[in-house]
Amino acid sequence: MTSVAASALPWGEVWGQDAAVDTLRAAAADPAALAHAWLITGPPGSGRAPLAHAFAAALIANGADDEHTMRQVIAGTHPDITALRTEGVIITIKQARELVERSYFSPSIGRYRVVVVEDADRMTERTSNVLLKALEEPPERTVWILCAPSDADLLPTIRSRVRVLRLREPDVAQVAALITARTGVDDAVAEQAARHAQRHIGMAQRLATDEASRVRRDETLRAVLRVRGIADVVEVAGQIVQAATDDAKALTAERDEAERSSLLRTVGIADGARIPPAVRSQLTALEDEQRKRATRSLRDGLDRVLTDLQSLFRDIVMLQFREDADIINLELMEDMRELAAKWPAARTLTVLDHIASTRAALEQNVQPTLALESLLVTVVSGRSPS
């Protein structure tokens, strides 16, 4: 399944969101229908960011034939787009102030200046307050586009100043078909990946093309199902954190080294040469940003594990209530049926509640191993620690 304009700029990277594309296409073409601030919401993988950038391209370009401008906007090189996708834990007040400052510049060459915030849900209350006035009274030719999983992730004062556009969630078959078309993987692998990713397109593509990720997910869920005592709790919690740490390092190490080498080349320092004091501050600032990115990557990895565990115990609850449609973890059906028969539904719901609270705790910088050990104690005992 493809979007209405699957092959045409700027909407070619937007998939399965025909109604949203129609709304934004109309708004870009008609100033009377254009709100000065938008909030695009949808579950992870639904295409919020590609849609935001496609909308920005349509707003900045001078008509549908202005391909060059559209390509610049989508590539992030056009002077009239300012985009923020944080790789840290939160969007900082400094970053928000820089966005607000740029929002008051007149467009350089395009029809509008557009400010895109891809992770608006990562703003604290203080950071959100920095944006309020700019959202309420932006210059006539500035458009803000915020992206978040849900409008509930933003403050009411922000929600009252934006037009909300909610994206639809594709089903498993649609995501599987897209993954097969993009990667050429076997239909069965694509279906399993789409199901396990719970229709998150990016995660489904990774699972489909990375066997190690599929194996790691399966081993983690089976290990949790085998937890029987405190010794198992400590061992499995440690394994989960180590696996997430290794995964985060694998995702960031190559990029970190490339950024370091690029910085040194830019200032004319050869590989292995002594780094002069004048450059050390730049290198320290880069390393600080890389540490923040690594922290975010680790937290995202742990959250992905918790999402997978949520799907496991959600399936068990479904079986306990005699609902076996839309089961996510079909490969674990035998083990899940055994646990569903052994446990009361109330115990499974307690585990699900603790998974949700563990996800929230990790966002508050709780020590990951302790948080996971606490969760696994609940799995073993059926009771959340008081």
> Has residue 88 got a pLDDT over 70?
no
In the chain, DSSP assigns E strands to 37-41, 81-84, 113-117, 142-148, 163-166
Q: What is the model's pLDDT at position 5?
A: 40
Which residues are CB-neighbours of 238 under 8 A, at least 6 positions away?
369
> Has residue 337 got a pLDDT over 70?
yes
Q: Say how far apart CA 50 and CA 11 lie, in whole Å.
A: 8
pLDDT single digits (tens) 293-325: 777 788 888 988 999 999 999 999 999 999 888
Q: Range with the lowest mean pLDDT among 199-208, 227-236, 331-340?
A: 199-208
pLDDT single digits (tens) 148-196: 988 888 999 999 999 999 998 888 998 899 899 889 999 999 999 999 9
pLDDT-derived band at 286, boundaries 50, 70, 90: confident
Q: What is the model's pLDDT at position 201?
A: 83
Contact 351, 333 (CB under 8 A): no
What tokens does 22 get? 């129609």
pLDDT single digits (tens) 94-130: 999 999 999 999 999 999 999 999 989 988 888 999 9
Closest Cα partner for 57 from 81, 37, 34? 81
Mean pLDDT of the chain: 88
pLDDT over 90, % of the chain: 55
pLDDT-derived band at 332, boundaries 50, 70, 90: very high
Please report which helix (H) or strand (E) contains residue 29, including its range: helix 18-29
Q: Say how far apart CA 47 and CA 211 lie, in whole Å.
A: 24
